[in-house]
Chain A
């Protein structure tokens, strides 16, 4: 197939060669490997499938411009209370990740039990290529207790 084409790009006499061939396939998400917390992850996967998957997708990849990915982002890997609060309170701000802005609203999930939130966040932090520490029900409980002022 002669589907190549010529591209000459200025400024700065930069010559870009762009080939129109296709065939790139998205990498398959890595399997979860970790020590301990196996049952938390297994339970968390069930919560994820029921609650989160519809927007964040089975592979945690999200949806371009709408629902942010959960793959190696600072939101997922970073500060635990911040992450827990997102689940409790939902999220209504634009998020920029790798130059792409995501703007869909996330509904609050404060109806989930502390254990369920701990499980699902542990699952997310140890899946999709993420390798972050577990989140415990006690940590969720603590954040929930201090979270009252943030509730609408």
Chain B
């Protein structure tokens, strides 16, 4: 009946930093109108609410057992790059904000909050409620990582043995600016891979860490799989197969290829960028056209194959292994992938802009992926027209799934009820 609640609350404020009180958007009767489930379409039994909006450009998130949500903003808002939301029932407040830097990577491990900007990783000691003790004095763990205006975000993940894994993206589509004579891409020594550092050692840089896995063009979504104690990453595949090789690739092939790939990494693995790409339609690792490929020749088997592959240019920005008990059994230990959505499938329609579920069995992808949450973009699936773009994923203490939108600053909460 009362379809629009009016603003009810006037809260006098004298704090130095703004306090935002959200009355969490209640999930409407799905029959009432088009914005049930906060505009998302979900499998049966699932529902969505937008617990916060207009937060800036939230990227990755992590949630504590006390229902604090640490949200890393792409840039700073009011000079702060990390927001702390607190969820109490259906009420969400912005509890505090800190960090002088924006960025993507954020994670909690062994009593510390880790967060990255485009060149560094910091950590903040947490108290027994997983609150940051001293927000103005983080400890710098990693410094001096390359950032050349392309694929800059340093997404992070931590293992159970005291290591942190940091993506250092390639500052090039396919290395053609740096490998004119095709003698070997020279930027692979310091970019296009996942570097491993100690999680507790200050001011490490390249010489202190190791290149854990290479030949990865750019990784934003990555996660440590606790089931088989292994790092999984989502690679953003190369662009412009048709633009650069119109005789070898049609416009349509260039939209669908190469696959966006999920790799299960072991130390020393090489995923092959820029020399290879994966063709999800042929299920084949291919020799890249810059290095003698013709759309048919396979890649050198020394390069690892992906463990799962998805359509081209979907832009996987978030990866989460679901370990909660709230969702039905099939989701347990499977992977959610947030696809930010494409920009380089033009002139074909753009695609992605969804969260996908990838079933797993025994720690490996098992069966076909499915779209789990869609509708973020609204009527226009394009980078400018999309109303929302999914980016970060986090699991709440009750097993709910949280999705950030870095286009309009929405945080979605997905719950399941029988």
Contact = CB atoms under 8 A, between A and B. Distances in A.
B4 A53 contact: no
Interface residues of A, number: 43
A11 B16 contact: yes
B159 interface: no
B5 A2 contact: yes
Nearest to A90: B177
Interface string B7-18: 111111111111
A145 interface: no
Contacts of B13: 8-11, 13
Contacts of A57: 343, 346, 382-384
Interface residues of B, number: 56
Contact of B344 (A10, A54, A59, A62): A54
Contact of B150 (A2, A54, A104): A104
A30 to B, nearest CB: 16
Contacts of A24: 387
B371 interface: no
A105 B344 CA distance: 14
A26 B384 contact: yes
A110 to B, nearest CB: 15
A96 to B, nearest CB: 12
A78 interface: no
A31 interface: no
Interface string A10-25: 1101010111111111
Question: Main secondary structure on chain A at its contact with chain B?
Answer: loop
B21 interface: yes
A1 B4 CA distance: 7
Interface stretch (B30-38, B124-132, B283-291): B30-38
A131 interface: no
Given A4-B6, A6-B22, A66-B343, A54 B240 contact: yes
A9 B20 contact: yes
A61 interface: yes
Nearest to A103: B149
A66 B5 CA distance: 38
Nearest to A57: B346
A49 B348 CA distance: 12
Given A10-B18, A17-B7, A64-B383, 6 more contacts: A2-B2, A3-B50, A5-B23, A6-B21, A57-B346, A69-B384
Q: Which 4 A-B pairs have the closest CB atoms?
A: A10-B13, A1-B28, A61-B384, A3-B25
